[in-house]
A and B are shown apart, each in its own frame.
Chain A
Amino acid sequence: MRRSRALLAASAAAALMLAACTTDEPADTAAPEETAAAGDEAGAEGEEEPEAEGEFFVQADYDRQLAQRDVEPEGPADQPWLQAIEPEYVDTAQYAQDGNTLCFSNASVSNPWRVTGWITMQQQVEVLRAAGEIGEFRYSDAADDDNQQITDIQAFIDAGDCNAIIISPSTTATLTPAVEAACASGVPVIVFDRGVNTDCMVTFIHPIGGYAYGADGAEFLVENLEPGSTVLALRILPGVDVLENRWAAAQEIFADSELEILGDEFTGGDGAEIKNIVTQYLQRGEVDGIWMDAGDGAVAAVEAFEDTGNDYPVMVGEDELSFMRKWQETGMTAIAPVYSNFQWRTPILAATMIWNGEQVPQEWVLPQEPITESDRDEFLDRNADMPSLHYAKFGGEDLPGYPTAWQDR
């Protein structure tokens, strides 16, 4: 018994020591090993990442997305949800239907971005329903559960009376077979937001993508911070491809800069957690810039600087209004990368276009432009009556339910 107690004490101590070792090591050894390649600005975290980079970083996609940011999209400028970047149109005559029941399998509405988009989508459906273009609109919400969504999609297939199936997949690999099954049932399939590993759908709708999003923020930090400045990266979760792409692109850009990346921390998107982490980094030393892979809780990060009496950092947020209002109020140097929320309208419009035999882009890349200080106030004015967890580029101002539908959620 005595032995085991000592053993326990030893193991507890060992755990702590081990923890200390794993962290001390990269900080000490990273520099000499990496100076040749990336310089020590890659920092302690830089060495941990290579395998993640292999999985979530594809150079060709990165290069393409960064280039797409400068491509003038085709289509009406006042309706960005109908614009497309470098579209390759496909014929849809083969998908002609004798009904107009539209079915939508949604991954979830578990964050404000998805809630905003879902409202916009419903408003778009209302318009087309009133015009007689859509008959019934069926909806299922998988609450972020892959298995549930597979069941939901199968239920649409089995019902046999969906004239088009829209899918917003919860995860890429797991949902691929379900999307393929939907394609095999013969009705037109439309996928949007996150992708799947197949091209059987008629059209895949998405904004430029995660690399472009991550790069917008990272480039802004590089441009607006002195060489040698420190940047803290805040991330929501590991392992989600859309988020990993954002971080991979940011790492790519930071590696070529003189910025020192203090660390990358997972916050779960929880404001309290974000505030704790930022506060602790501020206790350790100066933080000149914050990079975030999504703007949820960006305000909490800014408040951590206020509450500890530090100067505002150069900030990467998102087009969520709570952040944009804080940005305007404080006048700090910031950028709001945008993951175009108006994409939620496009699949509905695409479905009716397909039914009408109109051509649609096979990969429908929507524009994705960050909000900068120059157009910030314009977007805030436009959304003045909107709640704080609303997204500035929701693209629903011309829909009949505006503004009340987005206010009373």
Chain B
Amino acid sequence: MTVTSPRPTRRPSAGSRAADLAGRLFGGGSATVFALLLVVFAWIFIINPSFAEPPSLMAFIKQAAPLVILAIGQYFVIVSGEFDLSVGSLVGAQVVIAAALLDGEESRTVPVILLMLGFGILVGLVNGLVTTLLKVQSFITTLGMMLVLYGAIRLWTGGAPTGALSEAFRQPGRGGIDMAVVRQLPYALLILIGLVIVAMAIMRSSYGRTLIATGDNERAAGFSGVRVWRVRTLAFVLSSVMATLAGILIGGYAGVTAQVGQGLEFTAITAVVLGGVVLGGGRGTVVAAMAGALTLEALFTLFNQLSMPSTIRPAVQGVIIIAAVAYAARERARPRQHAETPAESQQSSEKS
């Protein structure tokens, strides 16, 4: 199945639009993630056509939304040339905080969510200011924050979460609007769409351009009047706020467990890198980062649909990610004009 999909690039029909599009999709570079997403989805549909039914797709969106949101947050930080390793712990901390403070009381839902947002902003500010003003590398700052949050939550709760989430709190992640065709339009999808629009607006604004410029060349950006510390700190705050929102959705989706959030920072970074965003900053789009997150989730679904033994999954996932990123990187390493002419990629596949 994978072999058939890239085939259009081999056919000598460069003039036709479809082939042009396919060439751009499968020719490597930043489009690789979209190609991979298409291939994975096509494969899932072939194995299990019922997955293409709207209710199944809605369920997929509901489960993928938190990772996409985390990827958006992580994108802001990575494109500005930093890392945020604290998001997984922050998601866990936020869910545990919510459960402990709510303790099942419906009336506390809104205040607790506001408090969580405040806590998220605070964590982002600390991450950002320590990184920019104290000049601690963000890898270390956020690794420290990850441990601090993890430890503080354990200390506070005595090792495992307590309390319970309220029904209202669980709605955004679990509930939806009942309707025909899709069975239920998840609130998570609406929230996701809202955040995607916000993220795209941010990246189109002057702040977004400065963010990329900062990641591309910090000194040049500094010389041209960008207050680098402010730009980056805001990126960390955005990341923490996104992690908080993701935490609200994850907590809503599945409730409290002691393991919630564990390892999400690496899944989010993987998603962003898979989306062709370069570690070190300055390159990549937020849309591609989101596509990276969707692709990862789709891969998990594919593995499940293939009933692949769970023991082999991490290995296969690793190979695919490395291959995809390398595939995209090869193209980027070539001179620009080549990347833009589909004819070039066509030749290469013919010769090999």
Chain A residues within 8 Å of B, Cβ to Cβ = 1-9, 11-13, 15-20, 22-24, 27, 44-45, 48, 108-112, 114-115, 118-119, 238, 262-266, 268-272, 274-277, 279-281, 283-284, 296-297, 299-300, 303, 307-309, 322, 387-389, 409
Minimal beta-carbon separation of A269 from chain B (angstroms): 5
Inter-subunit contact B257/A19 (CB<8 Å): no
Can you name the residue of chain A whose Cβ is closest to the Cβ of B257? A271
Inter-subunit contact B174/A303 (CB<8 Å): yes
Inter-subunit contact B258/A111 (CB<8 Å): yes
Docked complex Cα distance between A143 and B340 (Å): 54
Docked complex Cα distance between A379 and B332 (Å): 63
B256 is an interface residue with CB less than 8 A from chain A: yes
Query: Contacts A264-B310, A300-B254: A2 and B63 contacting too (C-beta < 8 A)?
Result: no
Docked complex Cα distance between A5 and B43 (Å): 22
Docked complex Cα distance between A282 and B327 (Å): 35
B280 is an interface residue with CB less than 8 A from chain A: no
Enumerate chain A residues within 8 angstroms of B163, measured Cβ to Cβ.
387-388
Contact segment of B217-225, B234-242, B317-325 = B317-325
Minimal beta-carbon separation of B313 from chain A (angstroms): 8
B316 is an interface residue with CB less than 8 A from chain A: yes
Enumerate chain A residues within 8 angstroms of B324, measured Cβ to Cβ.
12
Minimal beta-carbon separation of B197 from chain A (angstroms): 25
Enumerate chain A residues within 8 angstroms of B333, measured Cβ to Cβ.
1
Query: Contacts A109-B158, A272-B260: A16 and B2 contacting too (C-beta < 8 A)?
Result: yes
Interface string of B156-198 (1 = CB under 8 A from A): 0111111110000000001000000001100000000000000
- Can you report 27 A-B residue pairs in the complex whose CB atoms are below 8 A from each other? A1-B334, A5-B348, A6-B348, A7-B352, A12-B323, A12-B327, A13-B3, A19-B312, A19-B316, A27-B307, A45-B309, A110-B159, A110-B160, A114-B160, A115-B158, A264-B310, A265-B304, A268-B259, A270-B254, A280-B305, A297-B255, A303-B254, A307-B59, A308-B55, A309-B183, A322-B164, A387-B163
Q: Which residues of chain B in 249-281 are interfacial with respect to chain A, using CB atoms and an 8 Å cutoff?
A: 250, 253-260, 262
Query: Contacts A283-B50, A309-B183: A22 and B255 contacting too (C-beta < 8 A)?
Result: no
Enumerate chain B residues within 8 angstroms of A8, measured Cβ to Cβ.
323, 326-327, 330
Inter-subunit contact B174/A276 (CB<8 Å): no
Query: Chain A contact residues: over half helix, strand or loop, or mixed?
Result: helix
Can you name the residue of chain A whose Cβ is closest to the Cβ of B39? A16
A277 CB contact (under 8 Å) in B51, B304, B319:
B304
Inter-subunit contact A300/B257 (CB<8 Å): yes
Minimal beta-carbon separation of A113 from chain B (angstroms): 8
Minimal beta-carbon separation of B261 from chain A (angstroms): 8
B301 is an interface residue with CB less than 8 A from chain A: yes
Query: Contacts A1-B334, A307-B174, A389-B161: A9 and B6 contacting too (C-beta < 8 A)?
Result: yes
Inter-subunit contact B59/A6 (CB<8 Å): no
Enumerate chain A residues within 8 angstroms of B207, measured Cβ to Cβ.
none
Minimal beta-carbon separation of B199 from chain A (angstroms): 22
Inter-subunit contact B312/A13 (CB<8 Å): no
Minimal beta-carbon separation of A83 from chain B (angstroms): 27
Q: How extensive is the interface on chain B, given as a class?
A: 35 or more
Interface string of B209-232 (1 = CB under 8 A from A): 000000000000000000000000
Docked complex Cα distance between A274 and B254 (Å): 8
Minimal beta-carbon separation of B89 from chain A (angstroms): 14
Minimal beta-carbon separation of B116 from chain A (angstroms): 17
B331 is an interface residue with CB less than 8 A from chain A: yes
Q: Which residues of chain B in 62-79 are interfacial with respect to chain A, using CB atoms and an 8 Å cutoff?
A: 63, 66
Query: Contacts A23-B306, A23-B308: A3 and B352 contacting too (C-beta < 8 A)?
Result: yes
B11 is an interface residue with CB less than 8 A from chain A: no
A270 CB contact (under 8 Å) in B28, B262, B319, B323:
B262
Can you name the residue of chain A whose Cβ is closest to the Cβ of B349? A6
B336 is an interface residue with CB less than 8 A from chain A: no
Interface string of B13-53 (1 = CB under 8 A from A): 00000000000000010000000000000010000101100
Inter-subunit contact B160/A271 (CB<8 Å): no
Q: Which residues of chain B in 284-330 are interfacial with respect to chain A, using CB atoms and an 8 Å cutoff?
A: 300-301, 303-312, 316, 319-320, 323-324, 326-327, 330
Enumerate chain A residues within 8 angstroms of B3, measured Cβ to Cβ.
13
Inter-subunit contact A111/B160 (CB<8 Å): yes
B56 is an interface residue with CB less than 8 A from chain A: yes
Inter-subunit contact B55/A268 (CB<8 Å): no
B43, B164, B259, B308: most-surrounded residue (chain A CB, <10 A) = B259
A16, A17, A20, A109: most-surrounded residue (chain B CB, <10 A) = A16
A3, A4, A409: most-surrounded residue (chain B CB, <10 A) = A409
B305 CB contact (under 8 Å) in A110, A268, A270, A284:
A284
Minimal beta-carbon separation of B243 from chain A (angstroms): 14
Enumerate chain B residues within 8 angstroms of A7, measured Cβ to Cβ.
352
Minimal beta-carbon separation of B36 from chain A (angstroms): 8
Docked complex Cα distance between A299 and B256 (Å): 10
B204 is an interface residue with CB less than 8 A from chain A: no
Docked complex Cα distance between A337 and B43 (Å): 39
Can you name the residue of chain B whose Cβ is closest to the Cβ of A13? B2
Docked complex Cα distance between A92 and B75 (Å): 64
Docked complex Cα distance between A296 and B258 (Å): 9
Minimal beta-carbon separation of B157 from chain A (angstroms): 7
